Amino acid sequence: MGVYEIIFYLFAAVTLVSAVFVVTSRNIVRAAFNLLFTFFGVAGIYVLLGADFVAIVQLIVYVGGILILLIFGVMITNKITEVDIKTGTLHTLPAAIGVGLFTGIVGAVVLNTEWRVVDSEMPESTLTSLGTMLITEYVLIFELLGILLLIALIGAASMARK
Amino acid sequence: MLEISLTHFLVVSSILFCLGIYGVVTRKNAVMVLMGIELILNASNINFIAFARYGNFGLQGQMVALFVIVLAAAEAAIALAIVLNVYKTFVNINVDELDTLRD
């Protein structure tokens, strides 16, 4: 068992265990902190797949942006001073059965399919080529996403201020 | 089993996806439903990057993963603004009690 395998199993375990806590913990703040570890684990998996830039973006955007937004949402919509940061669950048993069946089906499909794998060596660094692609091939999508983010921010600010 | 292949990454991402669905379906609090959606988006991103690495698609998969991250950021901002408005109107954000469009 090489270093790559050990690191993969480590990151996969961190991701999945903390994801289980995210969806089962009754305390919202605890779930949010477990989401932090899930995002870190997913970033580690990206690095193992040779996607260094995406891993950094994952850390900056998800951990630094989205998670902070979610925690702000928790803080504003709950009475922190009282002990009211618990959340209930509903339909736990039917959901567990349904999701368990779905997991089994997806897992069986993934395990039984002969994936056509092409051997390619790990890229050195994806930063230069990703940047070049963003301003040549994908420039239209890049600009559209910029406009979309601007619209989303204006919309969110105007909706939250009313 | 010991050699890490495409299947390992796909199994991890499908388990993460199903955990996200479980969170979306069972949680009462709207913010917790959003956390489930983030788990689902992360699982799809792992799939994109794993296929880009093992399927010889170059960097296209990583590019799509970047776009998914941008859309997730926009979605989180809009959804939290909606949640704040719902909280101002109904004083709670439990999705099972919000069954009217206005009070």
Domain boundaries defined on chain A: 1-87, 124-162
The complex scores an ipTM of 0.90
Q: What is the DSSP string of B20-50?
A: HHHHHHHB-BHHHHHHHHHHHHHHHHHHHHH
pLDDT, tens digit, for every residue of B11-54?
999 999 999 999 999 988 888 899 999 999 999 999 999 998 88
Cα–Cα dist B58/B56, whole Å? 6
Residue from B25, B56, B88 whose CB has the most chain A CBs within 10 Å, to mutate: B25
Q: Quick check: B46 and B13 in contact, CB under 8 A?
A: yes
pLDDT digits (tens, 9 = 90+) for A64-73: 888 998 888 8
C-alpha A146, offset from chain centre? 21
pLDDT > 80? residue B55: yes
Q: What's domain A1-87's architecture?
A: Up-down Bundle (1.20)
Which whole-number Å values give the CA distances from A131 to A1, A57, A146, A154, B87, in the listed order?
A: 36, 13, 15, 27, 41
Contact A77 B31 (CB under 8 A): yes
pTM score of the predicted model: 0.90
Amino acid at A91: H
pLDDT surpassing 70 at residue B2: no
Tens of pLDDT, residues A74-99 = 888 776 555 556 667 778 888 899 99
Whether the CB of A34 is below 8 Å from some CB of chain B: the reply is: no
How many DSSP H helices and E strands does chain A contain?
7, 0
Integer Cα distance of A44 and A100 in angstroms: 26
User: Domain B6-90 falls in which CATH fold?
Assistant: Helix Hairpins (1.10.287)
Taking the Cβ of residue A101 and every Cβ of chain B, the question of whether any pair is shorter than 8 Å is answered with: no
pLDDT at residue A81, rounded to an integer: 55
